[in-house]
Amino acid sequence: MKFIATDVSDTKRKMVDMAATQLSKPGFAIDPYFYRSHVTYQAELENIIFKSWLYAGHISQIAKKGDFFLFDIGEDSIIICRDNKDHVRAMHNICRHRGARVCEEASGNRRAFVCPYHGWGYGNDGTLKAARDMHNVEGFNVDDYSLKPVRLVVFQGMIYINCDPDAADFAKPLSNITTQLGAYDLENAKVAEAKTYRINANWKLCLENYLECYHCASSHQHYAKLHTLQALAHKVKPINEAMWARAEETTGVTGIADEYYGYYNDSASFGACSYHSRYALYEGFKSGSKDGKPVAPLMGHMKGYDGGAGDFQMGPLTFMLNYPDHCVLYRFIPRSLTETDMELVWYVNGDAEEDVDYNKEELTWLWHETSLEDEFIILRNSEGVNSHFFEPGPYHPEHEATCYEFITWYLKALSQVKVS
């Protein structure tokens, strides 16, 4: 963890003014204030993170009644559970009595959650079942003290949550990428591996790094050898056009190359991003692996290798890179002002058997190595932007266009925070 000295003069008023000032400088990276401010970090949680749709996990993690897992955001914890009636639920991991966490295990199977402090017991649907001696308290009603629910949407086997009870629906924005994401049949896919990389840097530095490929050619030698995304669009236009022309026939999926842009400033509602585009791998490569060769059986409804990869976004912090034979999910979650969890999840066909149909090390090699390289450059970026002498420079208008989209969306959200 990197410790940053608290600015005792920092206020919400200063944050809002800084955001407005930054918006008046379009095209430039943001002031280091936004990576250092404790006031800003709290405002981000309350007004951006907790009001956005976030990937919590995959339906296979709660296959049986009573199965659960925890999803942590910042200092908060959420229980994702399949209750005894087979309903998928999300609940705040906070006892309604004095606030102790009712569950500490990262995952498991429970018929009930019992607070370790005073013994209040909750069903796995969140309803309060027992509150010792509270029947003596005038007006006390167990129906008033269920675990607080969290908004939840399950889309193609992927579980998304939103801590804002008034958040707009996420199912409709996601429906715009139903065909393209559906090609991989993620609902019936298998989680082959999941790794969490704790990056000692502000969450925005981690996300900004993912959103641009300006650094790919210089920082990711293996990735850049395979993926045309590292180059300017006009330079790889013929390769992409050739891939798009054969994509439907080769994969057997009608509409697989259709694009949809609905992220950040263009999202249907706040924090409800959805996006898809398909781009080519360089000639001779079929998948995202060490040598560009397939590493697993074809996913879902895919019938062949078109030399392309699907690029997806679901919510502001969740992304997928989908090859015909496996899919890689990226999720960024703030854990503190200077800590971010970057989680990667590798999916394979649901019928694939480890060490028979795929080798885990070969499957994960490219994106594990790329993530370690990302960690290296993000940490150096963090050290630099936290310097008292850093002066933000301009974004590249193409390579860093999505980065700028995110920053603009982010600054608009902060500039609207109520000061009093």
Residue 6: its pLDDT value, please? 80
Separation between Cα atoms, residue 22 and residue 412, nearest integer Å: 10
Per-residue pLDDT of the chain (420 residues; tens, 9 = 90+): 577 878 889 999 999 999 999 999 999 999 999 999 999 999 999 999 999 999 999 999 999 999 999 999 999 999 999 999 999 999 999 999 999 999 999 999 999 999 999 999 999 999 999 999 998 899 999 999 999 999 999 999 999 999 999 999 999 999 999 999 999 999 999 999 999 999 999 999 999 999 999 999 999 999 999 999 999 999 999 999 999 999 999 999 999 999 999 999 999 999 999 999 999 999 999 999 999 999 999 999 999 999 999 999 999 999 999 999 999 999 999 999 999 999 999 999 999 999 999 999 999 999 999 999 999 999 999 999 999 899 999 999 999 999 999 999 999 999 999 997
What number of CA atoms fall less than 13 Å from residue 215's CA on the CB side?
Answer: 18
Q: What is the pLDDT of residues 257-315, one digit of tens each?
A: 999 999 999 999 999 999 999 999 999 999 999 999 999 999 999 999 999 999 999 99
Residue 1: its pLDDT value, please? 58
Residue position matching structure tokens 């694009």 = 259
Angle 38-47/401-415 helices, nearest 10 degrees? Answer: 90
Which letter, b or e, does each residue of 33-57 get, where b requires 16 or more Cβ atoms within 10 Å of its Cβ? bbbbbebbbebbbebbbbbbbbbbb
3-state secondary structure of 357: coil
Residues 6+ positions from 387 with CB-CB distance below 8 Å: 32
CA dihedral 9, 408, 275, 395 (to 10 degrees): -110
Phi, psi of 397 (to 5 degrees): -65, -20
- Are the beta carbons of 31 and 381 closer than 8 angstroms? no
Residue 8: its pLDDT value, please? 83
Separation between Cα atoms, residue 47 and residue 306, nearest integer Å: 41
Residue 299: its pLDDT value, please? 98
Residue 272: its pLDDT value, please? 98
Where do the domains of the chain lie, and which CATH numbers do they carry? 58-153 (2.102.10.10), 168-413 (3.90.380.10)
In sequence order, what DSSP letters do the residues of 99-119 get, joined into one string?
Answer: ---S--SSEEE-SEEE-TTT-
Separation between Cα atoms, residue 354 and residue 348, nearest integer Å: 10
Residue position matching structure tokens 């209750």 = 83
Provide the H-helix boundaries in 191-264.
Answer: 203-211, 216-219, 221-226, 237-251
Separation between Cα atoms, residue 243 and residue 335, nearest integer Å: 40
User: Would you call 235 exposed, middle or buried from its count of C-beta atoms within 10 A (0-12, 13-18, 19+)?
Assistant: exposed
